[in-house]
Amino acid sequence: MLLSRESKNSPVNSAGTFPFIRFDAVIHFAGLKAVGESVSKPLLYHDNNIVGTITLLEVMAAHGCKNLVFSSSATVYGWPKKVPCTEEFPLSAVNPYGRTKLFIEEICRDLRNSDSQWKIILLRYFNPVGAHPSGLIGEDPRGTPNNLMPFVQQVAVGRGQALTVFGKDYSTKDGTGVRDYIHVVDLADGHIAALKKLSDPKIGCDVYNLGTGKGTSVLEMVTAFEKASGKKIPLQIAGRRPGDAEVVYASIKKAETELKWKAKYGIEDMCKDQWNWASKNPFGYGSLESKK
Ligand code: UDP
């Protein structure tokens, strides 16, 4: 997303470019994000995510815009040895997708070290779920969803038979994996807070976690969704998914203190808004025909 100031002149010239627009900042959300696909198509991921980012950074510099907010991920903590994850934790990647996020973070740090005009905020997302409360904007993954909540949603609308629970033998409250789920509206607000923070002269290339600081298990999430939707989600217990961490949740101190941002919504709101979107749009942005 490019954030620009209005121009008195027509913004588009005959070449279809935007010579009069001054871009103040860029929020870079674009990227491929399916872990399994990244394992089978690593070059696609490295090309799209890393080369795409380098191209964007070059274009930004060419336009004199050196303010960036980038969507990184909690995946850069790998399998954390303890929780909550603070921004100072050692970084590692456990699959090609995670490596692209890690490499882009490093590229951003190198760039800032080379030129102090750059101001970059890396936002490490935990597990974004939910939808806009209007029910007009929501997630519509292509093919079989990889993530928990889109899958639960598909079962609830009858597009899947049962949720496969990956592992019930973790040393967690109910044996299932624990994650830090964050409402997409809170996540969006976190970006506004980061944009504002870019004007702080102390910012160089800085990192913030965007999470709630609370860990929720797979079964707790399913129960909350059943309550919000009134639908029963049949479960099939399976073995652990290769590469899955046991418990991951964020330390939210840094974002709270420095960005003055804190998540407002809990898992009930996340499930309510996700069900509102799903029940109004059982086939996402398409129709039954388009999903066949
Ligand atoms: N999970 C599951 N069934 C699924 C998808 C995910 O049991 O069909 C579990 C997964 O093992 C993890 C949690 O749900 O414990 C969140 O998984 P997701 O892929 O959404 O996020 P990530 O693991 O990348 O944090």
Q: What is the pLDDT of residues 76-132, one digit of tens each?
A: 999 999 999 999 999 999 999 999 999 999 999 999 999 999 999 999 999 999 999
Q: Is 277 a pocket residue for ligand 1 (Cβ < 6 Å)?
A: no
Q: pLDDT-based confidence at 144, cuts 50/70/90? A: confident
Q: Is 281 a pocket residue for ligand 1 (Cβ < 6 Å)?
A: no
Rounded Cα distance between 271 and 284, Å, is 16
Q: Within 13 Å, how many C-alpha atoms sit on residue 86's CB side? A: 4
Residue 165 bridge partners (DSSP): 237
Would you state the torsion angle of the CA atoms of residues 37, 39, 45, 50, taken in this order, to the nearest 10 degrees? 150
Q: What is the mean pLDDT of residues 247-273?
A: 98
Residue 58, helix vs strand vs coil = helix
Percent of the chain with pLDDT over 90: 86
**Taking the CA atoms of the chain, what radius of gyration do you get in angstroms?**
20
Residue 140, helix vs strand vs coil = coil
Q: Is 148 a pocket residue for ligand 1 (Cβ < 6 Å)?
A: yes
97 catalytically annotated: yes
Q: Read off the pTM.
A: 0.93
For residue 9, the model assigns a pLDDT of: 52
How many residues does this entry show for the chain?
292
For residue 23, the model assigns a pLDDT of: 86
Rounded Cα distance between 157 and 230, Å, is 11
Q: Which of 97, 161, 241 should be mutated for ligand 1, with most atoms under 8 A from CB?
A: 241
